[in-house]
C-alpha cells in the first residue's frame, strides 16, 4: 500500500466515510451487465444451492436447487442458468463490425493484414466478490466436459443440452478475469475497493456489505458503525442481518434454517414416491411444492440483499466518469470475446484441464504485459494515481522554466531541444535516464541531462533533452516542443508496453518443457461414480 | 505440611486458576495452531491458548462473539469423507501412502490398527506413545493409528493435538496423514487451504518428533506428509505428498521464541480469571491486563479478534488497517497523530516518516483539489 492510499484510509477512519482512491472510473461498466449472485452448499465442490441472475435489477431470475446433493436437480439448475446466460451472450455475439488483424501467412510466412469480424460490444458478468469469480471458474470446470445425450448416447447421466456450452463460456470469463484491467467478469468488491479507500483493512474490504457501508453511507451513521452492523449484526433468531455475499453461506443459516427445510423437502419427496393412489399423490405433491417453495424463499432472502448491494455499487461507480484509456482495454476484451465465440463456432473442443507449455507461457506473459499496461494507463488517466507514482519517484510534474534549442550532431542535424523543468518531486533519475510525457495521446521521450544550479527551497531544476515526436524537418513541428510556462508531467515508466519475445509454435515446444503436446486428445468427462450423488 | 511444589506443577495450578474453577482445558485445535503462526507475538493469545481457555466462549461472554462456525453440511460431508478414506481398516489410505510416499516398501496387504481409546488426553497420549513404540518394533508391517493423541510443549505447558492419522511404515518410519474435504481439482487445490493444512501437519510432525526422541533407536519422522482430499467433484480420495520441512522449521522457531507463558502469567495481577461465567466487566478487565497485538489477519484465525479489533480501533491504532501500514509510518502509531503530522500541525519535519507523509498529503490534495497541476494526458 502506498503512503497516499494509507493516508486516504486514515482520513476515512477520521471522517467516518470512504475517501476517493481514484478520480475517474478505471473499469468499463456495460450498459446492460448480467449480475450473478450464486450460493453454494458448504463442504461440497460444485454443488450450487441457488442463484439470482439477470440484467434487470427489479426482476432477477431466482434459481434454486432444493436438494443440492441430487444430481438431477443440479442439472436442472444448470440448464435454467444456461437459459438465462447463453441468450445474453448470444445477443452480443451477433452484432459485429469489420476489423483488421495481423496474421502470418502460412505459405509465405509474411505478416499480412486480414479482414476479420470484431463484436461491436461484449457481454459483462458481475459477481459480488472475488470468491464469486472463483465459483464461476469452478462451475465452468464442472460443466465443460459433461456429455449431452446427443454427443454420447451411452453417457450414464447425460447433461442437458447447452450445459457444456455454458461451462465453456464461464471458463472463458473466469480465465479472462485473471488478466489485469479486463472487464468481462468483474468482482464488485474489487472494483469498489479500487476506487474508494475505506477506514478498514483490505481484508475487511472483501466483505461487500461492509465495504459498501463505508462508500454508500446511510444517513447519520459513520462508516465504521455501518460496516460493523453489516459484518456482525444478527436478528433474534441468530441470523445475520446482512447475509454474506456468497457463494458460501453463513453456518448459522445452514444449521438453523436450511437444513430443516431440506429435510422437510426430502420427507415430502419420499412420501410422494410412496403414495399409493392418485388422490394421495395429489395431496403429497402439494406438500412437496410447499417444501420447495420454502427453500426458494430462504435462498431468495439470502441472495436478494447481495443483489441489491451489487446494483447500489454499480450506481456509485457510474457516478464516476470513465477514464480515457478504458475504451482501449475494453476493445481487448471484445477481441477476447470474439476469439472465443469463433472457437465455439468452429467446433473446437472445450478448454483443456491443463494448458500446454506454450499456451501457459503465453498466458503468463500476457498477464504481465497487461499488468504493466494497466499501471501505466491508470496513472496517465488519473492525477490521483499519478500522485502515487510521483511520491514513489517514478514520475515528476512541474513548470517549464527554460527551453534552449539544440541540435544533434551528424550529417542531418535534428532538433534536440533542452527543456528545464522546476519540480518539487524527487524522481529517481539515473544518468541519461529516459522519461516520457504524453503528447496528444502518444508518448514523447526525453533524456535526463542533469540538475541545474541550486534551486531555492525544496524544488529542483531538471534539464531534459527532448528526443522524438518533433517531425522530420530541421525545425520541430508546431506544438511538439514544450514552451516556457507549460506545466508538464514526465514519467520514468513507459506508456506503452512492448510484447516480449515470440514463443515457438506449440509443435516446436522444446523437450525441456515437455516437448510437443502431440495430437489434442479429447478430454474425457469426469467419471461418475454411483456414490457421486455427493 | 504440603510438599514444596515444583515449578511445573506451580504453573499448571496457575493456569488452572486462570481458566477458572472446574473449567476443563481446551486442546489446541487447528485454528489455535493457525493463530500461532499468524501472530506469534500476541501475549493475550499465547496465555489464553496456553491455559486452555475456550476463547469462543470467552468472546461471547465479552459481547463480541466470534463468527466461526461450521455448517452441518460441511461437517457431515467431512466426516463421511474421512470415514470413507479410513474404511476397511484403512486399506485405501495405506494404498495412497504406499503409492505417494514409500513405493519401495512392500505393498500393504493388511494393517494393524491398534486400539487407542483411553480416558483423558493424558491417557490417550500415553496410549499413543505405547502403540507407536510397539509398531516401530515390529518391522515389515504397516500400522495405522486412527486419531492418535500427541502432546506438544507450547511455551511451557503441554498442548494436546489430534492428527487425523499417523502411519508407521514397514521400515519403522512415521508419516502424518491429514484428511481434508476441500477438493483437489485437476491435481491442484486451493493454495491457501493447502498452506493451512501444511502448517497444521508441521505441528504434528514436531509433536511426533518429541515422541520419537524418547525411543531408542529414535525412529525417523518423515517430513513429507500425506494430504488426502476428494478428487475433482466426486468423493473418491486422492492424495498428494506435501513437503512440510519449511513449515516445520518456521513453527519450531516460533515455538522456541514464544514468550514463556510462565513469564506472562507472572506479570498478571493476582486474581485474574478468564472463566466465561464471570460478568462481562470483570472479564474485559482481565483480558485487558494482557497486552494483545491485533492485526487484521487475526480475524480469520482467532476467536477473540472482534474484541481486540474494537479495542484497537477505539484506541486509534493504525495497525487495525493492516500491519504493512505501520512500516511506513515510523513512530506514529495512532490515526490522529498521523493525520496531524500530515497536516503539519505536529511532528518533527526532519523525521523522514513525517516528511514523506507531508509530501504524500500535499500530492494527494493537489490531485483532488483545485490547485491541481494539469493532468498529463
Q: Where are the domains of chain A?
A: 3-21+31-247+300-353, 379-491
Q: Look at B296 and A204 and tell me if their CB atoms are within 8 Å.
A: yes
**Helix pair angle (B55-62, B305-314), 10° resolution:** 40
Q: Look at A387 and B363 and tell me if their CB atoms are within 8 Å.
A: yes
* Residue A466: closest CA among A510, A419, A426: A419
Give the best residue of A201, A233, A396 to mutate against chain B (max B CB count within 10 A). Answer: A201
Q: Give the pLDDT of residue B104.
A: 86
> Which CATH number characterizes residue B172's domain?
3.90.320
* Residue A459: closest CA among A523, A401, A507, A516: A401
Is the pLDDT reported for residue B376 higher than 50?
no
Which value does ipTM take for this structure? 0.87
For residues A135 and A45, give the distance between their C-alpha atoms in angstroms, rounded to a whole number. 10
Q: Give the pLDDT of residue B30.
A: 60
Query: pLDDT 10s digit of each residue in chain A, 534 long?
Result: 688 999 999 999 999 999 999 999 999 999 999 999 999 998 888 889 999 999 999 999 999 999 988 888 988 999 999 999 999 999 999 989 988 887 777 777 777 888 888 999 999 999 999 999 999 999 999 999 888 888 778 777 788 889 999 999 999 999 999 999 999 999 999 999 999 999 999 999 999 999 999 999 877 888 888 998 888 888 888 888 888 887 999 999 999 999 999 999 999 999 998 888 888 888 889 999 999 999 999 999 999 999 999 999 999 999 999 999 999 999 999 999 999 999 999 988 889 888 888 889 889 999 999 999 999 999 999 999 999 999 999 999 999 999 999 888 888 888 899 999 999 888 999 889 999 999 888 899 999 999 887 656 678 899 999 998 888 888 888 888 999 999 999 999 999 887 777 778 878 888 888 788 776 667 777 766 555 444
Q: Please give the residue that has the higher pLDDT: either A523 or B87.
A: B87
In degrees rounded to 5, what are phi and psi of residue B340?
Answer: -70, -30
Range of the domain at B101: 72-255
In degrees rounded to 5, what are phi and psi of residue B211?
Answer: -65, -45
Report helix, strand or coil for A250. Answer: coil
Q: Look at A45 and B230 and tell me if their CB atoms are within 8 Å.
A: yes
**Which grid cell sits at A282?**
395429489
Question: Is residue B194 assigned to a domain?
Answer: yes
Question: Is residue B244 assigned to a domain?
Answer: yes
Domain boundary among B205, B240, B255: B255
Q: Give the pLDDT of residue B117.
A: 85
For residues A231 and A303, give the distance between their C-alpha atoms in angstroms, rounded to a whole number. 16
Q: Please give the residue that has the higher pLDDT: either A473 or B311.
A: B311
Q: Which of B77, B235, B338 lies closest to A10 in CB terms?
A: B338
Q: Look at B235 and A43 and tell me if their CB atoms are within 8 Å.
A: no
Q: Look at B367 and A384 and tell me if their CB atoms are within 8 Å.
A: yes
| Straight-line distance from the first to the last Cα atom of chain A, in angstroms, rounded to the nearest whole number | 43
Q: Are residues B56 and B129 in the same domain?
A: no
Give the count of domains, chain B: 3
Residues of B in contact with A41 (CB under 8 A): 73
Is the pLDDT reported for residue B145 higher than 50?
yes
Q: Give the pLDDT of residue B1.
A: 43
Q: Are residues B127 and B224 in the same domain?
A: yes
Question: Is residue B310 assigned to a domain?
Answer: yes
Average pLDDT, chain B: 84
Q: Are residues B276 and B159 in the same domain?
A: no
Q: Are residues B248 and B178 in the same domain?
A: yes
Q: Are residues B244 and B264 in the same domain?
A: no
Q: Are residues B122 and B38 in the same domain?
A: no
Interface contact B76, partner A, CB < 8 A: yes
**Which grid cell sits at A49?**
444451492
Q: Are residues B92 and B232 in the same domain?
A: yes
CB neighbours of residue B358 within 10 Å: 16
Residues of B in contact with A485 (CB under 8 A): none
b/e map of A256-286 (b: 16 or more CB within 10 Å)?
ebbeebbebbeebbebbeeeeeeeebeebee
**Which grid cell sits at B53?**
481457555
Q: Look at B296 and A532 and tell me if their CB atoms are within 8 Å.
A: no
| Straight-line distance from the first to the last Cα atom of chain B, in angstroms, rounded to the nearest whole number | 88
Q: What is the DSSP pairing of strand A185-187 with strand A125-127?
A: parallel
Tell me if the domain spanning A379-491 has CATH number 2.40.30.
yes
Interface contact B186, partner A, CB < 8 A: yes
Residue by residue, what is the 3-state secondary structure of B247-265? HHHHHHHHHHHCCCHHHHH
Q: How far off is chain A from B320, nearest CA to CA, in Å? A: 7
**Which grid cell sits at A5?**
492510499
Q: Which of A383, A386, A526 lies closest to B233 in CB terms?
A: A526
Q: Are residues B338 and B350 in the same domain?
A: yes
Q: Are residues B84 and B141 in the same domain?
A: yes
For residues A69 and A269, give the distance between their C-alpha atoms in angstroms, rounded to a whole number. 14
* Residue A34: closest CA among A14, A49, A54, A52: A54
Question: Is residue B4 assigned to a domain?
Answer: no
Chain B residue whose CA is closest to A384: B367
For residues A395 and B189, give the distance between their C-alpha atoms in angstroms, rounded to a whole number. 41
- For the four alpha carbons of A406, A409, A415 and A420, in that order, the dihedral sign comes to negative
Is the pLDDT reported for residue B353 higher than 60?
yes
Reported in sequence order, the residue ranges of B216-310 that DSSP labels E, i.e. its strands, are: 224-230, 237-243
Helix (H) or strand (E) run with residue B31 in it:
helix B30-38
Q: Give the pLDDT of residue B69.
A: 80
Write out pLDDT tens, residues B180-203.
989 999 888 989 889 889 988 998
Residues of B in contact with A528 (CB under 8 A): 234
Q: Are residues B207 and B307 in the same domain?
A: no
For residues B346 and B362, give the distance between their C-alpha atoms in angstroms, rounded to a whole number. 15
Q: Which of A200, A488, A489 lies closest to B321 in CB terms?
A: A200
Q: What is the DSSP pairing of strand B165-168 with strand A460-466?
A: unpaired
Q: What is the DSSP pairing of strand B111-112 with strand B142-146?
A: parallel
Count of CB contacts below 8 A, A vs B? Answer: 163
Is the pLDDT reported for residue B329 higher than 80?
yes
Q: Look at B368 and A23 and tell me if their CB atoms are within 8 Å.
A: yes
Q: Are residues B102 and B56 in the same domain?
A: no
Helix (H) or strand (E) run with residue A439 in it:
strand A434-439
* Residue A360: closest CA among A210, A471, A503, A182: A503
- The pTM of the full predicted model, rounded to 2 decimals, is 0.91
Domain boundary among B224, B255, B286: B255
Q: Give the pLDDT of residue B26.
A: 77
Chain B residue whose CA is closest to A10: B335
Residues of A in contact with B360 (CB under 8 A): 2-4, 7, 391
CB neighbours of residue A519 within 10 Å: 6
Q: Are residues B21 and B42 in the same domain?
A: yes
- Residues B162, B149 contacting (CB under 8 angstroms): yes
Q: Look at B73 and A438 and tell me if their CB atoms are within 8 Å.
A: no
- Beta carbons within 8 Å of B47's beta carbon, 6+ residues apart: B18, B261, B264, B265, B268, B290
Please name the residues between 298 and 317 in chain B that touch chain A, using a CB distance below 8 Å.
299-300, 306, 313, 316
b/e map of A374-399 (b: 16 or more CB within 10 Å)?
bbbbbbbbbbbbbbbbbbbebbbbbb
Amino acid at each position: 500500500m502506498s503512503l497516499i492510499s494509507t493516508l486516504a484510509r486514515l482520513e476515512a477512519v477520521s471522517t467516518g466515510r470512504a475517501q476517493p482512491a481514484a478520480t475517474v472510473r478505471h473499469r468499463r461498466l456495460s450498459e446492460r451487465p448480467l449480475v450473478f449472485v450464486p450460493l453454494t452448499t458448504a463442504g461440497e465442490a460444485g454443488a450450487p444451492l441457488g442463484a439470482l441472475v439477470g440484467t434487470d435489477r427489479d426482476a432477477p431470475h431466482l434459481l434454486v436447487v432444493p436438494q443440492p446433493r441430487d444430481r438431477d436437480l443440479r442439472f436442472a439448475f444448470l440448464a435454467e442458468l444456461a437459459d438465462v446466460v447463453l441468450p445474453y451472450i448470444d445477443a452480443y455475439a451477433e452484432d459485429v463490425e469489420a476489423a483488421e488483424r495481423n496474421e502470418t501467412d502460412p505459405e509465405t510466412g509474411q505478416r499480412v493484414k486480414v479482414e476479420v469480424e470484431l463484436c461491436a460490444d461484449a457481454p459483462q458478468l458481475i459477481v459480488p466478490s472475488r470468491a464469486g469469480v472463483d465459483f464461476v471458474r469452478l462451475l465452468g470446470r464442472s460443466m465443460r466436459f459433461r456429455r449431452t445425450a446427443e454427443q454420447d448416447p451411452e453417457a450414464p447421466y447425460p447433461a442437458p443440452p447447452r450445459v457444456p456450452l455454458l461451462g465453456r463460456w464461464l471458463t472463458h470469463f473466469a480465465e479472462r478475469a485473471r488478466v489485469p484491467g479486463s472487464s468481462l467478469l468483474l468482482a464488485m468488491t474489487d472494483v469498489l475497493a479500487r476506487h474508494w479507500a475505506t477506514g478498514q483493512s483490505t481484508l475487511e474490504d472483501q466483505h461487500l456489505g461492509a465495504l459498501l457501508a463505508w462508500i454508500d453511507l446511510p444517513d447519520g451513521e459513520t462508516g465504521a458503525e455501518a460496516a460493523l452492523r453489516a459484518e456482525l449484526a444478527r436478528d433474534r433468531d441468530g441470523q445475520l442481518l446482512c447475509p454474506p455475499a456468497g457463494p458460501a453461506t453463513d453456518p448459522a443459516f445452514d444449521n438453523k434454517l436450511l437444513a430443516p427445510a431440506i429435510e422437510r423437502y426430502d420427507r415430502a419427496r419420499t412420501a410422494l414416491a410412496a403414495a399409493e393412489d392418485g388422490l394421495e399423490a395429489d395431496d403429497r405433491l402439494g406438500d412437496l411444492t410447499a417444501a420447495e417453495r420454502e427453500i426458494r424463499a430462504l435462498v431468495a432472502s439470502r441472495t436478494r440483499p447481495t443483489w441489491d448491494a451489487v446494483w447500489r455499487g454499480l450506481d456509485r461507480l457510474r457516478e464516476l466518469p470513465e477514464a480515457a484509456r478504458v475504451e482501449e482495454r475494453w476493445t481487448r476484451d471484445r477481441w477476447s470475446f470474439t476469439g472465443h465465440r469463433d472457437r465455439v463456432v468452429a467446433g473446437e473442443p472445450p478448454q483443456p484441464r491443463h494448458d500446454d507449455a506454450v499456451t501457459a507461457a503465453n498466458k503468463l506473459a500476457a498477464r504481465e504485459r497487461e499488468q504493466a499496461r494497466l499501471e501505466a494507463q491508470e496513472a496517465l488517466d488519473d492525477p490521483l494515481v499519478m500522485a502515487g507514482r510521483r511520491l514513489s519517484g517514478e514520475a515528476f510534474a512541474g513548470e517549464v522554466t527554460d527551453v534552449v534549442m539544440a541540435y544533434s550532431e551528424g550529417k542531418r542535424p535534428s532538433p534536440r531541444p533542452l527543456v528545464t523543468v522546476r519540480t518539487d518531486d524527487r524522481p529517481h533519475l539515473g544518468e541519461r535516464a529516459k522519461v516520457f510525457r504524453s503528447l496528444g495521446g502518444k508518448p514523447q521521450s526525453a533524456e535526463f541531462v542533469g540538475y541545474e544550479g541550486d534551486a531555492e527551497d525544496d524544488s529542483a531544476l531538471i534539464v531534459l533533452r527532448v528526443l522524438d515526436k518533433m517531425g522530420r524537418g530541421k525545425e520541430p513541428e508546431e506544438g511538439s516542443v514544450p514552451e516556457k510556462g507549460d506545466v508538464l508531467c514526465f514519467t520514468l515508466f513507459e506508456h506503452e508496453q512492448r510484447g516480449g519475445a515470440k514463443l515457438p509454435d506449440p509443435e516446436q515446444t522444446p523437450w525441456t518443457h515437455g516437448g510437443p503436446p502431440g495430437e489434442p486428445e479429447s478430454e474425457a468427462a469426469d467419471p461418475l461414480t454411483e456414490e457421486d450423488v455427493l | 505440611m504440603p510438599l514444596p511444589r515444583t515449578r511445573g506443577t506451580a504453573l499448571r495450578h496457575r493456569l488452572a486458576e486462570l481458566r477458572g474453577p472446574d473449567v476443563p482445558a481446551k486442546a489446541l485445535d487447528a485454528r489455535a495452531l493457525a493463530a500461532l503462526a499468524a501472530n506469534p507475538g500476541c501475549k493475550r493469545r499465547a496465555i489464553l491458548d496456553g491455559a486452555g481457555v475456550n476463547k469462543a466462549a470467552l468472546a461471547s461472554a465479552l459481547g463480541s462473539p466470534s463468527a466461526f462456525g461450521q455448517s452441518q453440511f460441511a461437517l457431515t460431508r467431512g466426516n463421511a469423507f474421512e470415514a470413507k478414506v479410513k474404511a476397511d481398516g484403512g486399506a485405501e489410505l495405506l494404498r495412497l501412502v504406499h503409492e505417494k510416499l514409500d513405493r519401495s516398501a512392500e505393498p500393504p496387504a493388511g494393517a494393524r490398527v491398534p486400539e487407542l481409546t483411553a480416558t483423558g488426553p493424558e491417557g490417550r497420549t500415553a496410549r499413543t506413545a505405547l502403540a507407536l513404540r510397539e509398531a516401530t518394533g515390529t518391522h515389515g508391517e504397516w500400522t495405522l493409528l486412527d486419531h492418535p493423541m500427541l502432546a506438544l510443549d507450547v511455551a511451557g505447558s503441554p498442548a494436546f493435538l489430534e492428527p487425523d492419522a499417523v502411519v508407521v511404515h514397514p521400515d519403522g518410519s512415521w508419516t502424518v496423514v491429514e484428511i481434508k474435504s476441500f477438493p483437489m481439482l485437476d491435481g491442484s487445490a486451493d493454495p491457501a487451504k493447502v498452506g493451512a493444512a501444511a502448517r497444521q501437519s508441521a505441528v504434528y510432525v514436531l509433536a511426533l518428533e518429541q515422541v520419537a526422541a524418547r525411543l531408542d533407536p529414535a525412529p525417523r519422522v518423515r517430513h513429507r506428509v500425506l494430504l488426502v482430499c476428494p478428487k475433482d467433484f466426486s468423493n473418491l480420495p486422492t492424495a498428494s505428498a506435501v513437503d512440510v520441512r519449511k513449515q516445520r522449521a518456521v513453527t519450531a522457531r516460533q515455538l522456541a521464541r514464544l514468550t514463556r507463558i510462565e513469564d506472562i502469567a507472572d506479570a498478571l495481577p493476582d486474581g485474574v480469571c478468564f472463566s466465561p461465567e464471570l460478568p462481562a466487566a470483570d472479564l474485559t478487565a482481565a483480558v485487558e491486563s494482557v497486552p494483545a497485538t491485533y492485526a487484521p489477519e487475526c480475524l480469520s484465525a482467532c476467536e477473540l479478534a472482534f474484541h481486540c479489533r474494537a479495542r484497537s480501533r477505539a484506541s486509534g491504532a493504525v495497525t487495525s488497517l493492516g500491519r504493512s501500514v505501520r512500516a511506513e509510518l515510523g513512530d506514529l502509531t495512532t490515526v490522529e497523530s498521523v493525520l496531524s503530522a500530515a497536516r503539519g500541525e505536529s511532528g518533527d519535519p526532519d523525521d523522514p516518516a513525517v516528511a514523506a507523509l507531508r509530501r504524500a498529503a500535499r500530492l494527494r490534495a493537489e490531485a483532488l483539489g483545485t490547485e491541481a497541476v494539469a493532468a498529463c494526458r
